[in-house]
Chain A
Amino acid sequence: AQSVTQLGSHVSVSEGALVLLRCNYSSSVPPYLFWYVQYPNQGLQLLLKYTTGATLVKGINGFEAEFKKSETSFHLTKPSAHMSDAAEYFCAVIPLGNEKLTFGTGTRLTIIP
């Protein structure tokens, strides 16, 4: 079964530092990959997605992610963290041939002033 693993349920970075949130998927066939953000008491908002084409995907709020087939990874990065980035981040996958969006367990990002 297709699954997605997020390493680190909590990540803390200093304001201005690099943000790196890790996501690995299990599949022999490249799936569709997504990163969503959830701010406190709100729904999920799409940050970016990979379907086909360029493996480096740019999203909103300065985030980007790179699809690496050889590593089955889709890590999320942002060069410089801002206080407003504090939220929970979910990696999700839709395996080819399956329309069900499967979420990772989430990573709570804390920004240290």
Chain B
Amino acid sequence: DSGVTQTPKHLITATGQRVTLRCSPRSGDLSVYWYQQSLDQGLQFLIQYYNGEERAKGNILERFSAQQFPDLHSELNLSSLELGDSALYFCASSVTTGLGDTQYFGPGTRLTVL
């Protein structure tokens, strides 16, 4: 158990819908990262927040957005969902933003778009 929790574990929805994925980092970790894992794209970094502020952006679509709240939990919002958004979405956390900081991964949320 990494100490990172993600809810829900599974999510099934339809095209065009909007969903919110939630992540609680390990106690004391200030950084939260979001990743997408799909068969065709592999594991891709989406976005990072550090202590409530956006820190780095990766291959995140404009239809996707995220935020980190004062209690440090984070939410990833996915809107206007398409079939291709079906994937496993991971959240990770680390103590700071130091290069080489270990990122601890949650168990993921499996999103299925029908």
Binding site for B on A (CB under 8 A): 32, 36, 42-46, 49, 51, 90, 94, 96, 99-106
Determine the distance from Cα of A100 to Cα of B90 in the docked complex, in whole angstroms.
15
The smallest C-beta distance from B7 to any residue of chain A, in angstroms, reads: 13
Determine the distance from Cα of A53 to Cα of B74 in the docked complex, in whole angstroms.
34
Inter-chain contact total with CB atoms closer than 8 Å: 49
Determine the distance from Cα of A32 to Cα of B90 in the docked complex, in whole angstroms.
21
Question: Is A99 a contact partner of B55 (Cβ separation < 8 A)?
Answer: yes
Chain A: CB-nearest residue to B59:
A100
Using known A-B contacts A43-B2, A43-B106, A99-B56, determine if residue A94 contacts B100 with beta carbons closer than 8 Å.
Answer: yes
Using known A-B contacts A43-B105, A101-B33, determine if residue A96 contacts B99 with beta carbons closer than 8 Å.
Answer: yes
Determine the distance from Cα of A96 to Cα of B99 in the docked complex, in whole angstroms.
7
Q: Which residues of A contact B97 (CB under 8 A)?
A: 99
Chain B: CB-nearest residue to A46:
B102
Question: Is B107 a contact partner of A42 (Cβ separation < 8 A)?
Answer: yes
Determine the distance from Cα of A89 to Cα of B44 in the docked complex, in whole angstroms.
15
Chain B: CB-nearest residue to A106:
B42
Most chain B CB within 10 A, of A51, A99, A105, is at A99
Most chain B CB within 10 A, of A42, A43, A51, A90, is at A43
Q: Is B64 an interface position by the 8 A CB rule?
A: no
